[in-house]
Chains A and B, each alone.
Chain A
Amino acid sequence: MSKRLFVILSLVIIASFILPACGGGGSSTIKVGLLAPLSGAVPTFGISTQQGVEIAVKEWNDKGGVLGKKIELVVADSQCSADPAVNAANKLIDQDKVKFIVGEVCSSASIPVSEIVNQKKVVQISPTSTNAGVTVDKDGKVKPFTFRACFIDPFQGLVMAKFAAGKGFKTAFVMYDQGNDYTVGLAEAFEKSFTELGGQVIGKETYIKEDTDFSAILTKVADSKAEVLYLPDYYNIVNLVGAQAKDKGVTAVMMGGDGWDSADLDVKASEGGFYSNHYDPGDTRPIVVEWLKKFGAAYKDDQGQPKVPDALSTLAYDAANLLIAAIQKAGTEDSTKVAEALAAISWEGVSGTITFDALHNPIKGAVVIGVAGGNKTFAEAIAP
């Protein structure tokens, strides 16, 4: 092939890439975007979230949609990290012309996305991002378009600190991923609360999420004879640490946060541990029982049994409902009005009655779940 032909071909290829940029008309549906980590470190989070949102959307559509239009769910994979989440958000907003987004799951992704949505006036509600910095900027002012459906980390850290202190533990060792806003926030919150309640944090170690060998840190933990090992990270890291901890003679009780909540949590490795969470499937409130039935009918787990929804699906369901209800309440698709409606809404969700405070955070209680004998069981409920 002659060289000139090659050059022309290359330029034509480039030109043809620009063409798809033009396009995209109006539609007769209301588009709701979903930013979820379907690949990357925590895909069960993303799948659970997607399942929860899909049930909510289906319910609304079965009742005729909202504002007379059906709801169309546009899903984008954001991989629980900043760069892909920003790209996905841009694509949703610019290409798909979405004005309402449920997402992201992970705080480290939600924070950069929140900057974009506030700039482009798109309503964002995160089902599970617990870091305080998601809804407020660094001056402490609330971001008008960003909301969340869960409690925040300062509260979550307090919950576990209270629990640990309540069990009589006096010494704790904290280990966290220094590259994750979620873990950093939780670790700080726990340390602050635990110290205030009379406990002592006798060791702190950091790692990065690519690490697999925790033997060095765990040897230190064992040596420190701490009673509690606070590990507020996602389930994949908990599995690794838990498996190695027993081998290194660590006898501390492992504790963590809602990142533990996953069907993939290795119950053998985390045996004897506790974690704070958003809701308990064993709760007897009728709305919870109803929710379990709905979810189990729609989704089956690997063994073919009706799947028990984890906190992520539940919060995603609540978040999507909140968002769509706000659209209905505002009576218009204008995102500013919807944001205002959302800020003033009160909604009976599966995870509790949700109203937002001035910083767009719901006022909710937490539960502590224990891992014992291969099962996750309810341990305690702690109110705000």
Chain B
Amino acid sequence: MNAAINQKPSLLETIIRKRWLGKGFLLAIAILALWKLTISFLAGPTIFMQQVINGFQLGFVYALIALGYTMVYGIVRLINFAHGDVFMVGAFVSYYAIADLGLNTWPAKVMPGLPSWLSTAIGVISVVLLSMVSCAFLAYTIERIAYKPLRNAPRISALITAIGVSFFLEYFGALPIAFGPNFVTYQRPFEVVNWVISTSGIVALEPGVAPPDNTLIISNISLYIIIISLLLLFILNFFVRRTRVGKAMRATAYDKPTSRLMGINVDGIISVTFAIGAALAGAAGVLYATAFPQVYFAMGIIPGLKAFVAAVLGGIGSIPGALVGALIIGEAEVLSAAYISTPMRDAVAFSILVLVLLVRPTGIFGEPSREKA
């Protein structure tokens, strides 16, 4: 089979060397997917674009959660299963803040002279901040109690502990003395306004009146979500790239023993990472509950899983990867719900993950794999 060096390789050899069979298989799947997408687009361009927008809304929320997973994994190689439940706590905290304390209305009460959009915006930001702070505190506590003692233990023990913390948060939250087992209807911190975008301009949607054909509907929920997510991502990026703590985080993720030698307080940095990740999840909790106004103790399981998939897809440990992965997963979810069938959407998301991993074993932006199997 291995001919002399000067001879041209036979066709069979080329097929095997260049791995065409395997690549052909993946290519066939990719072509099928593209074909399906194109047909769907041509069948109804406006609906397609509407679904794409729906997907973006979902994707940004996933991105915030995914960042927590990716940052924690990058620094301690732990898949923090309790992250989705921190998200749930953030949602509940904001629920109590809005429903019981009316936190989103304080600017209107204290400063009645402000234009309404500004006071609503400040109110919403206050709620988000409260959730972020609570979740950061929660994560810090969890880290100190459950994860820190296991820093030098086998990784699987830390993983099982994370699973335990996740179960505990869920089921303790389900107890009547905590959040209760009910599905609580969430009160949005602002009034929902929908706009109809058509070729003739942007008009507010009136309830009870059907929108005309070939128009897109955007709600201010999506705007809030996208704007707040981008803001947080921008702040995070600035933090990680331009501040000393951020630099310390990057260094610890890169090489922990050397960072310690260079005088970085590795333990503290790890705690900060957990806290920041949790804060983002808390914000995501508020946004998710606003979009899908129902909070309950198990609400974090599935978004947590999808965000985790997104983080892996983008390359776990990579911050831009988390964003890209989350957007892909969000889009994949909505488009497959629209054009294949809703119950299949999880399968599609995971199939995408497995296929991408086969091509790029560490995710899209992941570091090149060091393991040679």
Instruction: List residues of chain A with CB under 8 Å of any chain B CB.
Output: 38-41, 43-44, 178, 205-208, 210-213, 215-217, 219-220, 222-223, 225, 235-236, 239-240, 243-244, 246-249, 251, 264, 266, 269
Contacts of B182 in A (CB 8 A): 43-44, 264
Interface of chain B, helix or strand or loop or mixed? mixed
Q: Are A219 and B54 in touch, CB under 8 angstroms?
A: yes
Contacts of A39 in B (CB 8 A): 174, 181
Cβ distance A290 to chain B, nearest Cβ, rounded Å: 30
Indicate if B351 sits at the interface (CB-CB under 8 A). no
Contacts of A216 in B (CB 8 A): 51, 54, 334, 337-338, 342
Contacts of A235 in B (CB 8 A): 183
Indicate if B246 sits at the interface (CB-CB under 8 A). no
Q: A39-B174, A213-B333, A249-B217 are in contact. Are A220 and B181 (CB under 8 A)?
A: no
Write the chain A residue with the least CB distance to B211. Answer: A249
Report, nearest first, the 4 A-B pairs whose CB atoms are least far apart: A236-B183, A216-B337, A216-B338, A212-B292
Write the chain A residue with the least CB distance to B220. Answer: A247
Q: A39-B181, A178-B343, A217-B342 are in contact. Are A249 and B294 (CB under 8 A)?
A: no
Interface of chain A, helix or strand or loop or mixed? mixed
Write the chain B residue with the least CB distance to A243. Answer: B293
Write the chain B residue with the least CB distance to A266. Answer: B185
Write the chain A residue with the least CB distance to B298. Answer: A210
| A43, A212, A249, A251: residue with the most chain B Cβ atoms closer than 10 Å | A249
Q: How far is the CA of A17 from the CA of B88 in the complex (A)?
A: 36
Q: How far is the CA of A219 from the CA of B192 in the complex (A)?
A: 17
**Which one of B47, B174, B210 contacts A225 once the chains associate, using CB atoms below 8 Å?**
B210
Q: How far is the CA of A15 from the CA of B53 in the complex (A)?
A: 59
Indicate if B58 sits at the interface (CB-CB under 8 A). yes
Q: Are A264 and B294 in touch, CB under 8 angstroms?
A: no
Indicate if B341 sits at the interface (CB-CB under 8 A). yes
Indicate if B201 sits at the interface (CB-CB under 8 A). no
Q: Mark B334-346, 1 if CB is under 8 A from A, else 0.
A: 1001100111000
List 23 A–B pairs whose Cβ atoms lie within 8 Å, in order of A's numbering: A205-B342, A207-B342, A211-B342, A212-B302, A213-B292, A213-B334, A213-B337, A215-B51, A216-B337, A216-B342, A219-B54, A220-B47, A220-B338, A222-B210, A239-B185, A240-B292, A243-B293, A244-B292, A248-B217, A249-B211, A249-B217, A264-B185, A266-B185
Q: Are A251 and B217 in touch, CB under 8 angstroms?
A: no
Q: Mark B317-344, 1 if CB is under 8 A from A, else 0.
A: 0000000000000000110011001110
Q: Are B192 and A247 in touch, CB under 8 angstroms?
A: yes
Indicate if B115 sits at the interface (CB-CB under 8 A). no
Instruction: List residues of chain B with CB under 8 Å of any chain A CB.
Output: 44, 47, 50-51, 54, 57-58, 174, 180-185, 192, 194, 196, 205, 207-211, 217, 219, 221, 291-294, 296, 299, 302, 333-334, 337-338, 341-343
Give the A-B contact count at a CB cut-off of 8 A.
97
Q: Are A222 and B293 in touch, CB under 8 angstroms?
A: no
Q: Are B294 and A206 in touch, CB under 8 angstroms?
A: no
Contacts of A225 in B (CB 8 A): 210
Cβ distance A106 to chain B, nearest Cβ, rounded Å: 15
Contacts of A219 in B (CB 8 A): 47, 50-51, 54, 338
Q: How far is the CA of A249 from the CA of B218 in the complex (A)?
A: 10
Beyond A219-B51, A243-B185, A249-B205: 4 further Cβ-contacts under 8 Å?
A178-B343, A213-B58, A216-B337, A247-B221
Q: How far is the CA of A216 from the CA of B58 in the complex (A)?
A: 12
Q: How far is the CA of A251 from the CA of B296 in the complex (A)?
A: 28
Q: How far is the CA of A240 from the CA of B207 in the complex (A)?
A: 17
Cβ distance A171 to chain B, nearest Cβ, rounded Å: 13
Contacts of B208 in A (CB 8 A): 251
Q: Are B294 and A40 in touch, CB under 8 angstroms?
A: no
Contacts of A206 in B (CB 8 A): 341-343
Cβ distance A78 to chain B, nearest Cβ, rounded Å: 13
Write the chain A residue with the least CB distance to B205. Answer: A249
Q: A43-B182, A264-B183 are in contact. Are A215 and B341 (CB under 8 A)?
A: no
Q: Are B293 and A239 in touch, CB under 8 angstroms?
A: yes
Contacts of B210 in A (CB 8 A): 222, 225, 249, 251
Q: How far is the CA of A195 from the CA of B222 in the complex (A)?
A: 38
Write the chain B residue with the least CB distance to A236. Answer: B183
Contacts of B342 in A (CB 8 A): 205-208, 211, 216-217
Write the chain B residue with the least CB distance to A40. Answer: B181
Q: How far is the CA of A219 from the CA of B94 in the complex (A)?
A: 28
Q: A206-B343, A246-B207 are in contact. Are A215 and B54 (CB under 8 A)?
A: yes
Contacts of A213 in B (CB 8 A): 54, 58, 291-292, 333-334, 337
Contacts of A266 in B (CB 8 A): 185
Contacts of B183 in A (CB 8 A): 41, 235-236, 239, 264
Cβ distance A136 to chain B, nearest Cβ, rounded Å: 28
Contacts of B221 in A (CB 8 A): 247
Q: How far is the CA of A346 from the CA of B196 in the complex (A)?
A: 58
Q: Are B299 and A212 in touch, CB under 8 angstroms?
A: yes
Contacts of A208 in B (CB 8 A): 342-343
Contacts of B293 in A (CB 8 A): 239-240, 243, 269
Cβ distance A284 to chain B, nearest Cβ, rounded Å: 32
Q: A178-B343, A240-B293, A246-B207 are in contact. Are A269 and B334 (CB under 8 A)?
A: no
Q: Are A222 and B192 in touch, CB under 8 angstroms?
A: no
Contacts of B337 in A (CB 8 A): 213, 216-217
Cβ distance B281 to chain A, nearest Cβ, rounded Å: 16
Q: Are B209 and A251 in touch, CB under 8 angstroms?
A: yes
Q: Are A43 and B181 in touch, CB under 8 angstroms?
A: yes
Q: How far is the CA of A207 from the CA of B205 in the complex (A)?
A: 27
Cβ distance B186 to chain A, nearest Cβ, rounded Å: 9
Q: How far is the CA of A269 from the CA of B292 in the complex (A)?
A: 12
Q: How far is the CA of A206 from the CA of B342 in the complex (A)?
A: 7
Contacts of A222 in B (CB 8 A): 210-211, 217
Q: How far is the CA of A207 from the CA of B345 in the complex (A)?
A: 10
Cβ distance B73 to chain A, nearest Cβ, rounded Å: 25
Q: How far is the CA of A236 from the CA of B294 in the complex (A)?
A: 8
Q: How far is the CA of A41 from the CA of B174 in the complex (A)?
A: 11
Contacts of B291 in A (CB 8 A): 213
Contacts of B207 in A (CB 8 A): 246
Write the chain A residue with the least CB distance to B185. Answer: A266
Q: A219-B338, A222-B210, A266-B185 are in contact. Are A247 and B299 (CB under 8 A)?
A: no
Contacts of B181 in A (CB 8 A): 38-40, 43
Contacts of A247 in B (CB 8 A): 192, 194, 217, 219, 221
Contacts of A212 in B (CB 8 A): 292, 294, 299, 302
Q: How far is the CA of A216 from the CA of B342 in the complex (A)?
A: 8
Q: How far is the CA of A125 from the CA of B351 in the complex (A)?
A: 45
Q: Are B334 and A249 in touch, CB under 8 angstroms?
A: no
Q: Are A215 and B334 in touch, CB under 8 angstroms?
A: yes
Contacts of A223 in B (CB 8 A): 44, 47
Q: How far is the CA of A38 from the CA of B209 in the complex (A)?
A: 40
Cβ distance A345 to chain B, nearest Cβ, rounded Å: 35
